[in-house]
Amino acid sequence: MQNPLIKPERYVEHAYNPLHRRYEYDPAGELSRTLDKLRGEVTYEYEANSRLLEHNPEKRFEGEEFRYDAAGNRLNFNTNRFDRVKDNRLKQWSNHEYKYDAWGNLVEKIVGIVRWQTFTYDSENRLVKTETMANSQVESTSSYQYDSLGRRIGKQWEIKGQKDHRLFLWQGLRLLREESPEQSSLYLYEPGSYAPLARVDEKEGEAENKVYYFHTDQIGTPLEMTDAEGQIVWQAKYRPRGAIEKLVVNEVEQNLRFQGQYFDVETGLHYNTFRYYDPEIGRFITQDPIGLSGGG
């Protein structure tokens, strides 16, 4: 646990107009405090092995505490500290229930008694189809396509009768361009990074392209997006594992999340190149396709 008597040894400030953020780190190099003009103060505490223990915003009722088993799997906070997640497959979390196939792919996610999601995979364990039921009615369906390198190149979805689709073009493993029926968006990144810098939108019927600029946190997650005049057109408040707690400003659709992740509105998951991430629990829904060589 972080020693409150030890003063941080590093300070990092990112200043924009009208945006201003300051980051403080403890002697172990862990983020201990953020000061954000738009979001206020947040403090962090860690276990000795650097796992996040507490996330404390200024409004204390919004804080979170975390508990883990010996393998680093998150546990419900009311569980015994000696409990463990069997086979490293999370079966229960809060009012969520998870079911897996023999290969460890998430096939069902049940939320309370009103929401049920199913996930279908191809022979290479890639997600190809989903269905979400809410109050015994089909809320959304989706399908996904991939190229020979495993990158997602297309998706189609329907939410409450409204259909849409996207096409994706890649530069290596970075999303380069996103095509929708109404517009084409080009993404620019920091050199050698997945942290986004800007987006150029070309909209059908409009003579001039629109340029938007990303403003990220210390790990490259977009917190705001501004237009060419410096006005905030998108602003989000996140929970520690990457789920958006609140969209403060949402004048322009913006789906980039943690570096390399793309938010899918139809499922709530984040596409992360070779698998999908569930930001509610901070876990991927399938095994790493390269196994233990991927680090876990």
**Each residue of 59-97: pLDDT tens digit?**
766 788 888 888 888 887 666 555 678 888 889 888 899
Domain 90-171 falls under CATH 1.10.3080.10: no
Token output for 1: 């646990």
d(CA 293, CA 7) in angstroms, rounded, equals 37
- The string of pLDDT tens digits covering residues 138-149 is 999 999 999 999
d(CA 172, CA 147) in angstroms, rounded, equals 12
Instruction: Lowest mean pLDDT of 29-33, 118-122, 290-294, name the range.
Output: 290-294
Report CA-CA distances (Å) from 35 to 21, 31, 60, 145, 158.
6, 11, 15, 41, 40
> Taking Cα atoms as reference points, which of 134, 152, 151, 135 lies closest to residue 143?
152
Q: What is the DSSP letter of 262?
A: E
Q: What is the DSSP letter of 256?
A: B
Q: In what order do the strands lie in the sheet with 283-284?
A: 262-263, 270-271, 276-278, 283-284
Find how far residue 40's CA is from the centre of its chain.
21
Q: What is the DSSP letter of 292?
A: G
d(CA 288, CA 294) in angstroms, rounded, equals 7
pLDDT of residue 6: 46
> Taking Cα atoms as reference points, which of 30, 6, 59 lies closest to residue 218?
30
Q: Tell me the average pLDDT of the chain.
A: 90
User: Confidence class of residue 11 from pLDDT cuts 50, 70 and 90?
Assistant: low
pLDDT of residue 78: 61
The pLDDT of residue 13 is above 60: no
pTM summary value: 0.89
* Radius of gyration of the chain, Cα coordinates, nearest whole angstrom: 20
d(CA 130, CA 159) in angstroms, rounded, equals 12
